[in-house]
Amino acid sequence: MESLSVPAPEPSPVSRLLAFLGPDFTLFLLFLALFAGLGVAYGASFHVAGEGSIAIAGGLGLGLVAIRFMYRARSIVLGAGNERALFLEASRRILRDWGPMILLVIVFENLHQFTGVIRKVPIDDALYALDLRVFGVEPSVWLSKHNTPLLTDWFALAYGMYFVLPMILAVMLSMRGRRADFRELATSVVLHMCIGFLCFILFPAGPPRFYEPLALHGGFDPPQLHSYFGLWEWSQGAWDSANPVRDHSSFPSMHCAIALMTLLYGWRFGAGVFPRRPRLFFWLCLPIVVSLWVSTVYLRHHWVPDCIAGMALGVFCFRVTPILRRRWPGAEAAAHG
C-alpha cells in the first residue's frame, strides 16, 4: 500500500502574525509597547514627530530607496521592460527590511522623556566607586595623563566608526541579495538597541567627563582633551548635539556592544563584503574596533563597567539572534518574502 502523506497542520493566527512581522519587527513592537506602558505609568510623554525624529527616520528610508533608484534610474524612467515593477518591489523590501532599525530613531529621540522617571538618581557614583575598587585609579583619569593630540584624533576617528562599520556590512548584505543574513543582522541591532534603551531607563548613568568630582574638581589632567587636527573637538560637538540623553545613556556602552556585534558578524557574514576573502572584513575591522573600545574610556565617554556590560550585551545578542532566525515561525518563507 502506498503511504498517505499527512498534510502539515495549518499555522495558528498567532504564528501567521509572527511570521508576517518577523523577529525584528516583533521585538521592536514589544519594546514600543513597554515604552508606552512606562509612559502611562510614570507620566512621560512620547512625541512621534518630536525633535525631528520623523524627518530623520523618513530621510533614512528615502535615501535607501533613492540609492536603489539610481542603480537603474534610466531604465526605470524610460519604463524599460519590467524595471519599474522591479524597483517598486525592491523599494518595498528595502523599507520592510530596514524599517525596524529606522523606527528605532523615533524611540531614541524620545528617550530623554523617560530616563530618570524610574530611577531619579543616576548610578554614576556606583560606577566610579567600582572602577576605583578594581583598578585603584579611575581609568579615564589615568589615560588622560598619557594623551597626545594625534592619539586623541585617532581615537575620535575610531569612536565615530561605531555607525559606519555595521552600515557597510548591512548595505553590502542588502545589495548582494543576502536577505536572510541581512534580516538576522537587523534583528541583532534591534535586540541590542531595545535592551540598551531599557537599561538607560532603569540604570541612568552619565559619562566620566560629566561626573562632577572629576570634571569640575581637577580630576582630569588636562581638564579638556585637545587633538592635532581638531577632529576630537568637531566630533564631540556633533555627538553631543545628536544625543538627547548624553548624560543618562552610558550604561551599557552601546558603542562597545555594536562594535563587538560588527566584529562577530564580520567574521560570520564577511563574504557579503569581500566574496573571495570572507575574513578580510573582520581583519580590517579588528584594529578599529579595539581602538574604539579603548576610545570609550580614553575620550571619557564611559566607565569600564559600561564597556564590560556592552560587550556582554553584544555576546548575548549574537548567541540569541541566530536561534530566533532558525526557530521563528515562517522563518524560511520570511527570507524570500
* pLDDT attached to residue 266: 96
pLDDT at 118 > cutoff 90 = no
Q: Is residue 73 part of a domain?
A: no
Say how far apart CA 310 and CA 259 lie, in whole Å: 9
Give me the number of domains the chain comprises.
Answer: 1
User: Between 289 and 52, where is the model more confident?
Assistant: 289
Q: Is residue 19 part of a domain?
A: no
Average pLDDT of 63-68? 81
Evaluate whether residue 4 is within a structural domain: no
| Dihedral (CA of 70, 72, 77, 82) sign | negative
Q: pLDDT at position 174, please? A: 85
- Looking at the predicted structure, is the pLDDT value of residue 328 above 70? yes
Q: What is the mean pLDDT of residues 212-230?
A: 83
CA 242 to chain centre: 14
Report the range of poorest mean pLDDT among 60-69, 219-228, 262-271: 60-69
All residues at 6 or more sequence positions from 122 whose CB lies less than 8 Å from its CB, including other chains: 116, 204, 205, 206, 247, 248
- State yes or no: pLDDT of 89 exceeds 80: yes
Higher-confidence residue of 189 and 238: namely 189
In a domain, 300, yes or no: yes
Is a pLDDT exceeding 60 seen at residue 223?
A: yes
Contact (Cβ atoms closer than 8 angstroms) between residue 313 and residue 257: yes
C-alpha cell at 284: 580590517
pLDDT score at 7: 61
Residue 168 lies in a domain: yes
Name which of 56-70, 165-179, 238-252 the model is least confident about: 56-70
Q: Is residue 310 part of a domain?
A: yes
Cell of 311: 560587550
**Predicted pLDDT of residue 323:** 95
Q: What is the mean pLDDT of residues 242-259?
A: 88
Contact 267, 279 (CB under 8 A): yes
Percent of the chain at pLDDT above 90? 46
Average pLDDT over residues 241-251: 81
Q: Is 142 exposed, middle or buried (0-12, 13-18, 19+ CB in 10 A)?
A: middle
pLDDT one-digit tens code per residue, 136-189: 999 999 998 889 999 999 999 999 999 899 989 998 898 888 989 999 999 999
Q: Give me the helices (H) in the chain, please.
A: 13-42, 53-71, 73-78, 83-110, 124-135, 139-144, 149-175, 179-202, 212-215, 231-242, 254-269, 280-298, 304-327, 331-334
3-state secondary structure string across 118-158: CCCCCCHHHHHHHHHHHHCCCHHHHHHCCCCHHHHHHHHHH
Tell which residue, 253, 237, 337, has the closest CA to residue 301: 253
Report yes or no: 34 and 198 within 8 Å, Cβ to Cβ.
yes
The C-alpha cell of 20 is what?
A: 508576517
pLDDT at position 50 = 47
Neighbouring C-beta atoms of residue 138, cutoff 10 Å = 24
Q: Over range 54-79, report the average pLDDT.
A: 75
More confident residue, 45 or 1: 45
**Per the domain annotation, does 288 fall within a domain?**
yes
If one compares 155 and 219, the residue with the highest pLDDT of the two is: 155
Tell me if 129 is assigned to some domain. yes
| Closest CA relative to residue 329, chosen from 337, 174, 316, 34 | 337
* Domain region containing 134: 119-334
